Amino acid sequence: MAEAPKPSAKNSTGTTSSTIDAPFTQGSVFRHVIVMTLTGAVGLMSVFAVDLMDMYFLSLLGEAELAAAIGFAGTILFFTASICIGLSIATGALTARAVGARDRAKTGCIVFNTMAFTVMVTFAVMLIIYPLLPNILTLIGANGRTHELALSYMHIILPTLPFMGLGMAAGGVLRALGDARRAMMVMVTAAVVNGILDPILIFGFELGLEGAAYASAAARIAMFAAGARAIFGVHGLRTRICVSDFVDTLRPMLKIAMPATITNVATPIGNAYVVALIAQYGDSVVAGNTIVARITPVAFALFFSMSGSIGPVIGQNLGAHKYDRVHETIASSLRFIAGYTVVLWAVFLLCQEMIVSTFSATGPSADMIRTFCIWVVPLTAFLGALFVANATFNNLGYPVRATIFNVTKATAGTVPFAIAGAAIDGPEGVLIGQAVGSMIVGIIAVYVCFNTIQKVADQANISRDEEVAEEDAKAATASTPMMPYSSARAFHASGVQCDTEAVDDPTADNTEGLNKKT
């Protein structure tokens, strides 16, 4: 594992340095991708594994409605988490560029301002959604006791949304700084807190589903605390509050955050449609789909991690104008996705019956799990490719393209394919159809991604050539003697070459030299 950058920013005089390390601008790109992805995956997998433990503990209570309630609540939580992810993408992208430019003061200012904006947005979202929860749950198909359970779960966990947003933003900042280990520990801290409290509250205090909600709420607060300590305590990125700086940061923040948020929100909206479609087949099918939804992020944590982990690698090299390394970052990520999927598919094919028995799934629930293991797992590689493409678009300054592709995946790449799948093979067909739609969109996104990288590199080369030409012109102008009633530019335009050695001597007679050269 790569060595984390030194958090100390002190120079030889004991004062804080004005520059900051940019570790991703040198060394093996593939190694950076792997280290960032694996450490990020450990953090994500720990959180997702706790969600899976929630499902397992609740399944021991013997109520199918509990699993279904988690599924419906999870659809809303996925929506709110997607907003947090969009904000963290913008935070990480802006921070990585400042780090790539080695500007410590600007980095500290961006971190503080983007996190302040994250609090504002997540608090506003929480206030809007909270009173609408009953209607939203009804809209996506929850009813009866399942509706009641899901509502009580959401009432507990939704108020902690700002802490979740800050925790995710902190992880993005730490990855942008190249501190993969501490970014991982932010997520691991949340998972440990959740994992410890889950059995205590669910079984010890006999709170059931509400106990799981309280454990998750505590984990979000712990995640924020761990992230804040790493950024402001360890790395010392402190800055004063400045309204003008906040406004300056807000413009590029919104430019990335708005399309990135729409990009991520599109996915849970598409998933909500799928859940509503599957709900027509009964709670048993919804429970099976919920189990699959909990297995997916654990199994593919590397994909989810990669979408956030390669951003700092791209951002730092973009800030350093190393476009060949940006291209190699994407290529390395796609190679890793392909190899990982092949191995994972073999594991799921061999272990599908064990998964079914572990969650005590029977009938339609078991069929949903088997369909996932056989057909959906290999197609998920293209979803990972879409994540990589979207991360690239966001960091290259083309967030609208990421929005277009994700919205397309959530609509045209989901709805018609899910409907067709349901018509062909019922609820199992819905899963396969959704995966096929993602495959098509993912292939197109990767193609556009590589073209975009080339476009950015070409534009940078043109700008660099223009800057060099302008500097040469200025240098030539500075070395040209200013003659009466004429301009230096006129002399250069007519191809006149001047004897600069003679010009350097103000007492010399320059007329003869000039006459010879004309």
| pTM above threshold 0.85 | no
Angle at Cα 103 formed by Cα 102 and Cα 108, nearest 5°? 125
Query: For residue 19, what pLDDT is reported?
Result: 64
Task: Map residue 336 onto helix, strand or coil.
Answer: helix
Give CA 26 to chain center in angstroms.
22
Q: What is the DSSP string of 252-301?
A: HHHHHHHHHHHHHHHHHHHHHHHHHHHHTT-HHHHHHHHHHHHHHHHHTH
31, 443, 448, 337: CA torsion to nearest 10:
-10
The DSSP output letter for 27 is S
Could you tell me if 414 and 437 are in contact, meaning their C-beta atoms sit under 8 angstroms apart? yes
* Residues sharing a CB contact under 8 Å with residue 116, sequence separation 6 or more, in sequence order: 246
- Predicted confidence at residue 346, as pLDDT, reads 96
Compute the distance between CA of residue 394 and CA of residue 396 in angstroms, rounded to an integer.
Answer: 6
Can you tell me the distance from the alpha carbon of 44 to that of 172, in angstroms, rounded to the nearest whole number? Answer: 13
- How is residue 259 written in tokens? 């399309």
CA pair distance 448, 453, nearest whole angstrom = 9
Average pLDDT per consecutive 10 residues, the chain (518 residues; last block may be shorter): 46 52 76 81 74 76 81 86 85 83 79 90 96 94 91 95 94 87 89 91 91 93 94 78 75 81 77 87 87 86 78 81 87 92 96 90 92 95 93 85 90 94 94 95 96 86 68 61 39 39 43 42
Q: What pLDDT does 48 receive?
A: 72
Q: Are 130 and 162 in contact (CB under 8 A)?
A: no
Report the residue count for the chain: 518
Q: What is the 3-state secondary structure (H, E, C) of 62-82?
A: CCHHHHHHHHHHHHHHHHHHH
Q: Provide the 3-class DSSP secondary structure of residue 61.
A: coil
Give the number of C-alpha atoms closer than 13 A to the C-alpha of residue 111, restricted to the C-beta side: 30
Q: Kindly provide the b/e burial profile for residues 63-87, where b requires at least 16 CB atoms within 10 angstroms of the residue's own CB.
A: bebbbbbbbbbbbbbbbbbbbbbbb
Q: Convert the pLDDT of each residue in 169-203 to its tens digit.
A: 998 899 888 888 898 899 889 989 988 999 999 99
- Terminal Cα-to-Cα distance of the chain (whole angstroms): 67
Kind and range of the H or E run holding 401: helix 399-410
- Burial code (b: 16+ CB inside 10 Å, e: under 16) for 312-345 equals bbbbbbbbbebbebbbbbbebbbebbeebbeebb
Give residue 2's pLDDT.
43
How far does CA 459 lie from the centroid of its chain?
25
The tens digit of pLDDT for each residue in 102-136 reads: 777 778 888 888 899 999 999 999 999 999 999 99
Total Cβ atoms within 10 A of residue 43:
26
